[in-house]
Amino acid sequence: MPTLRITNGRVFDPSRKLRGDISDLCIKDGKIVESLPGDAPVLDAKNLIVFPGGVDIHSHIAGPKVNIGRALRPEDHRHDPVPRTKIRRSGTGGSVPSVFATGYRYAEMGYTTVMEAAVPPIGARHAHEELNDTPMFDKGIYTLMGSNEFVLKYIREKRPDKVRDFVSWLLRATRGYAIKLVNPGGVENWKYGQDVTGLDDLVNDFDVTPRQILTTMAWVNEELGLPHTIHLHCNNLGVPGNYSLTLETMKAFEKQRVHLTHMQFHCYGGKSWAGFSTKAAEIAEYINSHPNFTLDVGQIIFGDTTTMTADGPWQYRLHGLNHRKWYNADVELESSCGVVPYVFKENNYVNAMQWAIGLELFLLVRDPWRIYLTTDHPNGGSFIFYPHIIRMLMDREYRQDCLKKVHPRVLRDTALQHLDREYTLEEICIITRSGPARALGLRHKGHLGPGADADVAIYKEDSNREAMFEGPIYVLKGGELVLKDGEIVKHVFGRTLFVDTPEPAELLGEIRDDFEKYYTVQFDNYSLPVEALRSYQPVATRAKARTS
Amino acid sequence: MLKDYTSIPVEADSLRPDKITGLSRDQILALPLYHGNKTVTVGDFFEVQETGGDTLVIEGDLSKFKKLGQEMEGGRLVVRGNAGMHLGAYLRGGTIEVFGDTADWAGAEMKGGLIHIHGNTGHRAGAVYRGSEVGMHGGVILVDGNAGLEIGSFMRRGLIAVGGNAGDFAGAHMIAGSILVMGEMGVRAGASMRRGTLVTLKPFEPLPTFRDSGAYRFPFLRLFTDRLHSRGFRVPADVEQSLFRRFVGDMNEIGLGEILILEGRDHDG
């Protein structure tokens, strides 16, 4: 692995309080090191901004539902071909790019780590196969568990220890990185055409409540010492008035650490679409005073996109709103899935409010270490619009210009026009790199200190922040120069990150028995061997670290 | 003028009069074409004889040249020979005239302009592409000869007129717009149509989900035929006075579409 010294760059590394300081970076064997011999090759970054590689904590880029989104919408990607070059493979773009195009387009923004945010366990093999072919960044999957029938059964039996052991096994079997909870309990009820509307509703057949699922899984997460918290998609996504349930959900956790995902969709007031309103301030206030929560925003981008989620009941509602294509699936004992194309329109009051609510969250949550930039790709919009969002956050005047183009009542009904905050470069570095890496427990990412992965994005300073962040001058992945002057110059496959949880020998027999009774696949074919991953890096749990 | 026939498909969406206007001969010759999986230039396949004006005339057998005039916004494209698939797809304005046959997808999802095909056309002229929800949005497609399957499927607005026969499923899923077939229509024309008008001058048996609503003379046919005549498309003069049987449907949808079937030209009521 080559060595490289990046000199004269203005380095941003918030974890080491570097705020554009001129500093050298030394790279060896894919890692940042303290020093290099004087004759090491040099990359001159004079007048350039040096960031750690971007880390996307929540994106939908691989797996069954993503592939369904591709298949469902040929019209979405035929206008956006990604031609082959001597280095790149061909593909298609649109709101759900093909695997290679996904890798290239993230790299073209300077991102080097992306987490696939929702994979049903039985789809993990598929997701990893796609991620094996998604180049340019490290990746991982969050394993869906919020309505897993094993989990529900053990909670009903009041055996949290069995839940813990099952989760440990399931993460190991799926090579997952984190526990993902989507509309806990509601997804199980969707199998009966129903949903849950409160934390104490009963889940059909199991007589457990969303509250029990949430608190048990948060406990399990801490028992297992997972690097990330539970990754929670709250109940009642997208529904007017859902903010009260979001607040109630947060209160249910007391001191437990939780990541709340795409929170823009969970900050709505009103009792109907006609009375739709923002409650971003209330949610932000609660988060500001409770340091156990992190969140990503799920910012809306106006235009055509493809929504996809395990939240089947929500997708049915969305289909009822726009009457476009709808895909629905029941994933055995594990989850559900819905895919619906959607156009967010500037002149649609609700859509414009959603857009403003996302920005309000960005501007009202004070601690950048606890709020992260996402569009819930592709649900709120494609990840390729991150530079556009960055510009809106850094440039108040531009943000106000954008505000003038949306439905006029948004001016009156949100606080956006009065929010003067402008993000600094350091804060952008935090919400796109250092913060997500810290929340994920990725100690070797999101910073540029010795021992960090040599994932580096180098930008040219530009007052137009959108232009700046959509075109890095250099990107290094694992110490290798993969992008120069906007062009991919080297094709690399990143590693798959998964948590190294123990296999619970005592519970295996019981799981196997139920498997053979109820699953369409045999138990022995379910677990994913590490050999199925192109390149991987297990991440130790704190529990394991304590015992080893 | 085409120098050599190729059996390998060529993507020729750069051959648009509105993009070529103002270019020098060398610039035109340097325009890219995709020949199979290789990028070539216009000069590899064509000789340029004259430049200037907003009309692009291409001569030769272009049956393997796809996407001619795709997304054109203005000007006039004349093809003296056959043309390949996707001729005038997504057309927004201007005129395309083909003195020959065209392959499938002519005028697919077009929004405006005029395509006049003096020969036959393949399947799905003026239709929707796979996955899209709306086909032809506007403009006119005139086919002097026969047309293939599924012409005007999912069309939203505009006019398609076929001098000969049309294949099965003409106007399937029509949202609105008008289709005239002077010859015979294949089966299931108008299946799942919501609104819009299908007119045929030959006997036709609609699907059972269409309801017979009587026979009429339609004054609008005068406007209809006048419009066609003005564009050089001949319709028998007595059509506008003839009696048509009107079927409304498709009752599987909202049932606001209609199929008009000529009952007899000599009937004077």
Mean pLDDT of A289-302: 98
**pLDDT the model gives residue B161:** 97
Size of interface A-B (CB pairs under 8 A): 14
Instruction: Tell me the pTM.
Output: 0.92
Mean pLDDT of A47-76: 97
- How many structural domains comprise chain A? 1
Q: How large is the angle between the packed helices A149-156 and A160-174, nearest 10 degrees?
A: 170
Tell me, yes or no, whether A481 lies in a domain.
no
Biggest CA–CA distance in chain B, Å, is 65
The two structure tokens encoding residue B251: 């009752």
pLDDT at A325 over 90: yes
The Cα of A74 is separated from the nearest Cα of chain B by a number of Å equal to: 5
pLDDT at A1 over 70: no
**pLDDT the model gives residue B268:** 46
CB atoms within 10 A of CB B28: 19
Mean pLDDT of B220-227: 88
Q: Which of A107-121, A367-381, A437-451, B13-27 comes out lowest in average pLDDT?
A: B13-27
Residues of B in contact with A78 (CB under 8 A): 129
CA–centroid distance for A294 within its chain: 12
Tell me, yes or no, whether A368 lies in a domain.
yes
The Cα of A443 is separated from the nearest Cα of chain B by a number of Å equal to: 44
* Contact flag B131-A73 (C-beta cutoff 8 Å): yes
At A433-479, the pLDDT tens digits run 999 999 999 999 999 999 999 999 999 999 999 999 999 999 999 99
**pLDDT the model gives residue B22:** 85
Mean pLDDT of A101-120: 98
Residue B13, C-beta contacts closer than 8 angstroms, at least 6 positions apart: B66, B67, B68, B70, B71
Question: Which residue is closest to B34 within chain A, CA to CA?
Answer: A83
* Contact flag B130-A75 (C-beta cutoff 8 Å): yes
Closest among A38, A40, A8, A37 to A24, alpha carbons compared: A8
Q: Does A333 touch chain B (CB under 8 A)?
A: no
Question: Which residue is closest to A73 within chain B, CA to CA?
Answer: B131
* Cβ-nearest to B130 among A74, A324, A325: A74
Residues of B in contact with A75 (CB under 8 A): 129-133
pLDDT-above-70 percentage for chain B:
98
The Cα of B137 is separated from the nearest Cα of chain A by a number of Å equal to: 15
Exposed e or buried b for every residue in A92-125, given b needs 16+ CB within 10 A? bbbbbbbbbbbbbbbbbbbbbbbbbbbbbbbbbb
Question: Which residue is closest to A83 within chain B, CA to CA?
Answer: B37
Residues of A in contact with B132 (CB under 8 A): 75
List C-alpha distances in Å: A546 to A290, A299, A309, A540, A541. Answer: 27, 38, 36, 10, 9
Residue B252, C-beta contacts closer than 8 angstroms, at least 6 positions apart: B192, B209
pLDDT-above-90 percentage for chain B:
77
The Cα of B37 is separated from the nearest Cα of chain A by a number of Å equal to: 10
**pLDDT the model gives residue A249:** 98
At B41-79, the pLDDT tens digits run 999 998 888 777 889 999 999 999 999 999 999 999 999
Tell me, yes or no, whether A162 lies in a domain.
yes
Q: How confident is the model at residue A286 (pLDDT cuts 50, 70, 90)?
A: very high
Residues of B in contact with A72 (CB under 8 A): 131
The Cα of A349 is separated from the nearest Cα of chain B by a number of Å equal to: 24
Are A178 and A218 a contacting pair, CB within 8 Å? no
The two structure tokens encoding residue A166: 């099952």
Are B148 and B121 a contacting pair, CB within 8 Å? yes
The Cα of A238 is separated from the nearest Cα of chain B by a number of Å equal to: 25
Q: Give dist(CA A383, CA A110) in Å, integer.
A: 12
Question: Which residue is closest to A69 within chain B, CA to CA?
Answer: B131
Tell me, yes or no, whether A526 lies in a domain.
no
At B139-168, the pLDDT tens digits run 999 999 999 999 999 999 999 999 999 999
Are B183 and B203 a contacting pair, CB within 8 Å? no
Average pLDDT along chain A: 96
Q: Which of A25-39, A236-250, A338-352, B215-229 comes out lowest in average pLDDT?
A: B215-229
Q: Does A339 touch chain B (CB under 8 A)?
A: no
**pLDDT the model gives residue B158:** 96
Q: Does A74 touch chain B (CB under 8 A)?
A: yes
Tell me, yes or no, whether A366 lies in a domain.
yes
* Contact flag B131-A324 (C-beta cutoff 8 Å): no
Are B168 and B186 a contacting pair, CB within 8 Å? yes
**pLDDT the model gives residue B36:** 86
Question: Which residue is closest to A72 within chain B, CA to CA?
Answer: B131
**Three-class secondary structure of residue A8 per DSSP:** strand
Tell me, yes or no, whether A46 lies in a domain.
no
Question: Which residue is closest to A74 within chain B, CA to CA?
Answer: B131
At A33, phi and psi to the nearest 5?
A: -125, 165
Biggest CA–CA distance in chain A, Å, is 69
The Cα of B150 is separated from the nearest Cα of chain A by a number of Å equal to: 18
**pLDDT the model gives residue A185:** 96
Q: Does A77 touch chain B (CB under 8 A)?
A: no
* Selected residue of B66, B109, B133, B254 to mutate for chain A interface (largest A Cβ count, 10 A): B133
CB atoms within 10 A of CB A524: 9
Q: Give dist(CA A259, CA A142) in Å, integer.
A: 12
pLDDT at A49 over 80: yes
Higher pLDDT, A548 or B249: B249
**pLDDT the model gives residue B265:** 64
Residues of A in contact with B131 (CB under 8 A): 72-76
In one letter, which amino acid is A196? V
Residues of A in contact with B130 (CB under 8 A): 74-75
How high is the ipTM of this complex? Answer: 0.81
**pLDDT the model gives residue A547:** 46
* Cα torsion A506, A508, A513, A517: sign: positive
Q: What is the CATH number of the domain that holds A88?
A: 3.20.20
pLDDT at B245 over 80: yes
Return residues 244-303 of A near B (CB < 8 Å).
none
* Contact flag B129-A72 (C-beta cutoff 8 Å): no
**pLDDT the model gives residue B266:** 53
Q: How confident is the model at residue A204 (pLDDT cuts 50, 70, 90)?
A: very high
A484-489 — which CB contacts under 8 Å span 24+ positions?
Answer: A486/A108, A488/A85, A488/A87, A488/A88, A488/A104, A488/A107, A488/A108, A488/A136, A489/A87
**pLDDT the model gives residue A533:** 97
Residues of B in contact with A76 (CB under 8 A): 131
Domain housing A281:
53-443
**pLDDT the model gives residue A462:** 96
* Contact flag B129-A324 (C-beta cutoff 8 Å): no
Identify residues of B whose CB sits under 8 angstroms from chain A CBs. Answer: 129-133
Q: Does A72 touch chain B (CB under 8 A)?
A: yes
Burial class (CB in 10 A: 0-12, 13-18, 19+), A341: buried
The Cα of B143 is separated from the nearest Cα of chain A by a number of Å equal to: 26
The Cα of A141 is separated from the nearest Cα of chain B by a number of Å equal to: 29
* Selected residue of A72, A75, A89 to mutate for chain B interface (largest B Cβ count, 10 A): A75
At A471-518, the pLDDT tens digits run 999 999 999 999 999 999 999 999 999 999 999 988 999 999 999 999
At B171-183, the pLDDT tens digits run 999 999 999 999 9
**pLDDT the model gives residue A530:** 95
Alpha helices (runs of H) in A253-406, residue ranges in sequence order: 280-288, 312-322, 349-364, 386-394, 396-404
**pLDDT the model gives residue B269:** 40
* Selected residue of B33, B71, B132 to mutate for chain A interface (largest A Cβ count, 10 A): B132
Question: Which residue is closest to B37 within chain A, CA to CA?
Answer: A84
Mean pLDDT of B15-22: 89
Mean pLDDT of A125-130: 97
Residues of A in contact with B89 (CB under 8 A): none
Question: Which residue is closest to A90 within chain B, CA to CA?
Answer: B37
**pLDDT the model gives residue A483:** 98
Residues of A in contact with B129 (CB under 8 A): 74-75, 78
pLDDT at A401 over 70: yes
The Cα of B115 is separated from the nearest Cα of chain A by a number of Å equal to: 22
Tell me, yes or no, whether A435 lies in a domain.
yes
Tell me, yes or no, whether A538 lies in a domain.
no
* Selected residue of B130, B153, B253 to mutate for chain A interface (largest A Cβ count, 10 A): B130
Residues of A in contact with B133 (CB under 8 A): 75, 324-325
